[in-house]
């Protein structure tokens, strides 16, 4: 009797294990997927958009193809619509879960990007840590040209911004979640890197696009972008500041920001300490250390002035200073911040130390 | 016959910490974030005080059991009919808690990892807790001890990694509150977070000493668990800001998705979070099923214990599978607020009165 019962138990156990052998409904083998490396969003006729996809090709298929990637584009009313339509053309499953970068055409960014990014957060289809950049130029050429340095599609764009690879402070690496979060934050506007089509490379950094809500309203040049990085504690690694007579490397910085609200007017004071080294001195005109530092300070003041003029004129607080006023304002006043930022009194001081002059003394 | 065994202090701490992990990660943050414009730690602390008060009331009640089970003493004092009446909301709370926990977790898996896998299949995970509950309290405790060792470490690791890309200014206001959460039902909906002691009170016998020990362990668990709970709420806030966090169904999952580090070997931290949560959920659902099973075996002593657990499994599985949408899960959490408040604060008073009445009748009869 006991043996019979035991037999039934074993049969039941194996019956339950059969469920495991059925596999998962969502399982798709990796060799049956076409993984998107980079995605490009471009404005099309009317309200439609054109979505570009670049898929890296596995080594096994390279013999049949000249390139290590495959590019295709698809029109649609939304990104999801374009992705669905693209599936009609593909032999394998379209998999955007490994997308490393999203490139947005400048004309689309001028008309508003929010409707085209929501799908990524809502459906969790595209990784939130994918880098985002604005493209000025021909999206088709960028997507169809072979990467000059040979990296896989998608990885190239990611490496271009990553601090552990080709990223430098002026490039202002911006991830999808940052862009999306700032679309809803009344105190913090977006600043997204602006790339132009390159002659030798796929693209070149042109500056950073200033956003108000989800539209481009202006642009910071590369030097102003450096000041943005310094003031927002995003500065990493080191960056070279090219001056007229000598070149200085900024190796470290620390910015202390003090804020106050006086009669409804925001007061923002930035105290910035920079540690620098000299990497190249002028041959045409001899300068001593104090003269070099004075010139650097003058340059930084000039860039900071033009940067704040551009952002305050548009009411675009790309620095997130407004977040420091959250406690001082009532929730009903939060939406007024862009107007308050226009009237904000912003002052800044630089304390620059020249740590060394390299392996050669400065006469 | 299975040996009745009381839960030790460390076991209680482990179970309550697992309860914190099971409840804090996915539904709770969105309720608290939506409940107030002020500082989030204030509603959190208010509920923690409420939980300590409720558990103290229960511990005073349990201290009077003299080695018996809570329901058995209440039945002996006021009879089966009155016990059924005062325990009906408790049963409804436990049933709703089981259904929403199972369905919410299945929906979380659907939203994050397996979009086309049928909910009916995912809900099948209830089988493991049902078998564990049938095996008895000590197997649950042993499983909890094992799971505790790695789940808490992993959760701690995820919270520490989650400190990247945070901007503390986004968390402001840190001090200010106007008490707006008191007028928001989301604040009360989050009461499920603080029901850990209630569930263990319905399982196993208690003495004065074990009740005091259990309350001390629960208080310790609350103190240790508060940073965990606050981390699940504040990390998305100081990363995405209040405005976006309010719009997110699972803010902590989106936070995990946003983490990007060259040195983190695991690309998908969300998968780790979901897996760790599964271990929390398995133990806590087993605990809740055990409480339901003990309740019914107390009310219907002749009933076959296996049939009770099989029916409980089928009822919870069917109800969870029949829930059509996430919105329904949220509505059930809101609709059962009354039951939870009753179970937390009114039932221990009624239980105390029932026991006092039983003692008085007993004395009169002995005279």
Taking CA–CA distances from A121, the nearest residue in chain B reads B254
pLDDT at res. A284: 65
Range B235-238 contact pairs with CB under 8 angstroms and sequence separation of 24 or more: B235/B159, B235/B162, B235/B163, B235/B166, B236/B29, B236/B33, B237/B33, B237/B40, B237/B170, B237/B171, B238/B166, B238/B167, B238/B168, B238/B170, B238/B171
Q: Are residues A210 and A108 in the same domain?
A: yes
d(CA A23, CA B272): 20
Q: Does A188 touch chain B (CB under 8 A)?
A: yes
pLDDT at res. A152: 65
Q: Are residues A213 and A79 in the same domain?
A: yes
The answer to the question of residue A10 being in a domain is: no
Q: Are residues A86 and A122 in the same domain?
A: yes
Phi-psi region at A315: left, alpha or beta (left = phi > 0; alpha = psi -120 to 50): left
On the question of pLDDT at B154 being above 60, the answer is: yes
CB contact (8 A) between residue B116 and residue A25: yes
Q: Does A88 touch chain B (CB under 8 A)?
A: no
On the question of pLDDT at B245 being above 60, the answer is: yes
d(CA A19, CA A39): 38
On the question of pLDDT at A285 being above 70, the answer is: no
Q: Are residues A247 and A298 in the same domain?
A: yes
> Is CATH 1.20.1740.10 the classification given to domain B9-355?
yes
B192-205 pLDDT tens trace:
999 999 999 999 89
- The domain limits of chain B are 9-355
Cross-strand bridge partners of residue A280: A247
Range of weakest confidence among A54-63, A67-76, A297-306, B158-167: A54-63
Are A136 and A206 spatial neighbours (Cβ–Cβ below 8 Å)? yes
The answer to the question of residue A18 being in a domain is: no
On the question of pLDDT at A14 being above 50, the answer is: yes
CB contact (8 A) between residue B167 and residue A24: no
What is the DSSP code string of A73-120? EEEESSHHHHHHHHHTT-SSEEEGGG--EEEEEHHHHHH-SHHHHHHH
- Model confidence at A16, pLDDT cuts 50, 70, 90, reads low
Instruction: CATH number of the domain at A264, please.
Output: 3.30.300.210
| Average pLDDT of chain A to the nearest whole number | 86
Q: Does A234 touch chain B (CB under 8 A)?
A: no
CB contact (8 A) between residue B172 and residue A327: yes
Q: Does A15 touch chain B (CB under 8 A)?
A: no
| Average pLDDT of chain B to the nearest whole number | 91
Chain B residues in contact with A162 by the CB 8 A cut-off are: 262
- CA A257 to chain B, closest CA, distance in angstroms equals 12
Strands (DSSP E) contained in B228-297 are none
On the question of pLDDT at A265 being above 50, the answer is: yes
On the question of pLDDT at B363 being above 90, the answer is: no
- Model confidence at B4, pLDDT cuts 50, 70, 90, reads very low
Tokens of A316: 């675009």
Q: Does A177 touch chain B (CB under 8 A)?
A: yes
On the question of pLDDT at B346 being above 50, the answer is: yes
d(CA B13, CA B26): 21
3-state secondary structure of A261: strand
Are A236 and A163 spatial neighbours (Cβ–Cβ below 8 Å)? yes
CB contact (8 A) between residue B176 and residue A128: no
A200-250 pLDDT tens trace:
777 889 999 999 999 999 999 999 999 999 999 888 777 777 677 678 888
* Mean pLDDT value of segment A289-306: 89
- CA A55 to chain B, closest CA, distance in angstroms equals 20
The answer to the question of residue A121 being in a domain is: yes
Range of weakest confidence among A7-11, A118-122, A341-345, B50-54: A7-11
Range of weakest confidence among A8-22, A229-243, B174-188, B252-266: A8-22
- What is the extent of the structural domain holding A285? 234-363
Range of weakest confidence among A176-180, A306-310, B17-21, B363-367: B363-367
Q: Are residues A193 and A255 in the same domain?
A: no
- CA B86 to chain A, closest CA, distance in angstroms equals 39
Taking CA–CA distances from B109, the nearest residue in chain A reads A26
pLDDT at res. A337: 95
On the question of pLDDT at B338 being above 90, the answer is: yes
Q: Are residues A266 and A339 in the same domain?
A: yes
Q: Does A121 touch chain B (CB under 8 A)?
A: yes
CB contact (8 A) between residue B173 and residue A326: yes
Alpha helices in B113-125 (DSSP H): 119-122
On the question of pLDDT at A282 being above 70, the answer is: no
- CA A84 to chain B, closest CA, distance in angstroms equals 16
Report the largest interatomic distance among the alpha carbons of chain A, rounded to a whole angstrom: 105
Question: What does DSSP assign to residue B176?
Answer: -
* Mean pLDDT value of segment B257-267: 85
Nearest by CB: B117 against A26, A127, A128: A26
On the question of pLDDT at B168 being above 80, the answer is: yes
The answer to the question of residue A306 being in a domain is: yes
d(CA B255, CA B240): 8
The answer to the question of residue A137 being in a domain is: yes
* Mean pLDDT value of segment A295-314: 93
Chain B residues in contact with A121 by the CB 8 A cut-off are: 248, 254
A161-198 pLDDT tens trace:
888 888 888 889 999 999 999 999 999 999 999 999 88
On the question of pLDDT at B191 being above 50, the answer is: yes
What total number of domains does chain A contain? 2
Taking CA–CA distances from A127, the nearest residue in chain B reads B257
Q: Are residues A200 and A291 in the same domain?
A: no
Range of weakest confidence among A59-68, A233-242, B137-146, B289-298: A59-68
Buried b (16+ CB within 10 A) or exposed e, B57-75: bbbbbbbbbeebbbbbbbb
Q: Are residues A262 and A216 in the same domain?
A: no
Nearest by CB: B244 against A162, A181, A327: A181
Q: Are residues A94 and A192 in the same domain?
A: yes
- The better pLDDT of the pair B207, A202 is held by B207
Q: Are residues A305 and A248 in the same domain?
A: yes
- Model confidence at B2, pLDDT cuts 50, 70, 90, reads very low
pLDDT at res. B367: 66
What lies within 8 Å, CB to CB, of A351 at 6+ separation is: A271, A272, A273, A274
Q: Are residues A260 and A208 in the same domain?
A: no
Phi, psi of A282, rounded to the nearest 5 degrees: -75, 140
Residue A326 burial by CB count (10 A; 0-12/13-18/19+): exposed, middle or buried?
buried
Q: Are residues A194 and A292 in the same domain?
A: no
- Model confidence at A3, pLDDT cuts 50, 70, 90, reads low
Mutation pick from A331, A334, A335, A337 vs chain B, by most beta carbons of B within 10 Å, is A331
Mutation pick from A9, A12, A19, A25 vs chain B, by most beta carbons of B within 10 Å, is A25
Cross-strand bridge partners of residue A353: A275
- Radius of gyration in angstroms for the set of CA atoms belonging to chain A, rounded to a whole number: 26
On the question of pLDDT at A45 being above 90, the answer is: no
Per DSSP bridges, beta strands A265-280 and A239-242 are unpaired
């Amino acid at each position: 009797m006991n043996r019979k019962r035991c037999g039934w138990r074993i049969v039941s156990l194996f019956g339950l294990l059969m469920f495991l052998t059925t596999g998962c409904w969502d399982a798709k083998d990796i060799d049956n997927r076409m993984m998107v490396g980079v995605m490009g969003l471009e404005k099309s006729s009317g309200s439609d958009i054109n979505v570009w996809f670049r898929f890296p090709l596995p080594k096994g298929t390279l013999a049949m193809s000249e390139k290590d990637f495959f590019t295709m584009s698809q029109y649609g009313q939304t990104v999801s619509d374009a992705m669905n339509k693209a599936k009609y053309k593909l032999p394998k499953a379209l998999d955007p879960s490994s997308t490393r970068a999203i490139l947005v055409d400048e004309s689309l960014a001028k008309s508003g990007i929010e409707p085209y990014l929501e799908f990524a957060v809502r459906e969790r289809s595209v990784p939130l840590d994918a880098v985002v950049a604005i493209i000025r130029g021909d999206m088709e050429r960028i997507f169809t040209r072979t990467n000059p340095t040979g990296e896989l599609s998608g990885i190239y764009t990611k490496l271009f911004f990553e601090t552990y690879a080709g990223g430098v402070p002026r490039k202002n690496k911006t991830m999808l979640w940052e862009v999306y979060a700032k679309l809803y934050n009344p105190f913090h506007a977006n600043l997204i890197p602006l790339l132009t089509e390159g002659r030798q490379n796929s693209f070149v950094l042109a500056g950073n696009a200033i956003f108000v809500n989800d539209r481009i309203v202006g642009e910071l040049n590369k030097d102003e972008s450096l000041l943005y990085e310094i003031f927002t504690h995003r500065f990493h690694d080191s960056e070279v500041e090219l001056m007229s007579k000598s070149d200085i490397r900024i190796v470290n910085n620390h910015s202390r920001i003090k804020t106050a609200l006086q009669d409804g007017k925001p007061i923002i004071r930035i105290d910035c300490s920079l540690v620098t080294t000299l990497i190249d001195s002028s041959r045409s005109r001899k300068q001593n250390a104090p003269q070099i530092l004075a010139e650097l300070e003058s340059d930084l003041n000039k860039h900071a002035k033009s940067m704040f003029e551009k952002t305050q004129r548009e009411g675009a607080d790309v620095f997130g200073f407004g977040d420091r006023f959250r406690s001082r304002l009532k929730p009903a006043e939060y939406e007024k911040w862009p107007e308050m930022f226009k009237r904000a009194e912003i002052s800044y001081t630089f304390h620059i130390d020249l740590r060394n002059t390299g392996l050669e003394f400065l006469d | 016959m299975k040996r009745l065994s009381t839960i030790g202090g460390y076991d209680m701490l482990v179970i309550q910490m697992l309860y914190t992990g099971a409840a804090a990660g996915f539904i709770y943050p969105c309720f608290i974030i939506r409940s107030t414009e002020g500082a989030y730690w204030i509603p959190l602390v208010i509920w923690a005080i409420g939980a300590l008060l409720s558990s103290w009331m229960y511990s005073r009640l349990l201290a009077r059991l003299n080695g018996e089970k809570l329901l058995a003493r209440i039945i002996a004092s006021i009879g089966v009919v009155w016990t059924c009446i005062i325990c009906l909301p408790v049963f409804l709370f436990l049933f709703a808690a089981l259904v929403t926990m199972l369905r919410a977790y299945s929906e979380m898996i659907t939203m994050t990892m397996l979009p086309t896998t049928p909910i009916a299949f995912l809900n099948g995970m209830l089988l493991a807790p049902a078998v564990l509950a049938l095996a008895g309290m000590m197997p649950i405790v042993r499983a909890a001890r094992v799971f505790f060792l790695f789940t808490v470490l992993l959760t701690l690791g995820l919270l520490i990694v989650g400190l990247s890309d945070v901007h503390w200014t986004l968390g402001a206001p840190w001090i200010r509150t106007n008490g707006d959460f008191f007028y928001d039902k989301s604040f009360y909906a989050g009461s499920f977070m603080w029901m850990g002691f209630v569930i263990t009170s319905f399982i196993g016998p208690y003495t004065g000493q074990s009740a005091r020990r259990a309350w001390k362990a629960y208080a310790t668990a609350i103190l240790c668990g508060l940073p965990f709970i606050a981390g699940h709420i504040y990390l998305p806030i100081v990363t995405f800001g209040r405005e976006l966090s309010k719009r997110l169904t699972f803010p902590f999952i989106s936070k995990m998705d946003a983490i990007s580090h060259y040195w983190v070997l695991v690309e998908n931290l969300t998968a780790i979070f979901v897996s760790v949560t599964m271990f929390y959920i398995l133990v806590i659902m087993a605990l809740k099923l055990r409480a339901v099973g003990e309740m019914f075996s107390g009310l219907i002593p002749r009933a076959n214990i296996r049939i009770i657990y099989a029916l409980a499994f089928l009822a919870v599985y069917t109800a969870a599978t029949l829930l059509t949408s996430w919105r329904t899960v949220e509505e059930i959490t809101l609709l059962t607020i009354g039951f939870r408040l009753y179970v937390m604060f009114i039932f221990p008073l009624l239980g105390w009165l029932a026991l006092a009445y039983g003692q008085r009748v007993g004395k009169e009869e002995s005279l």
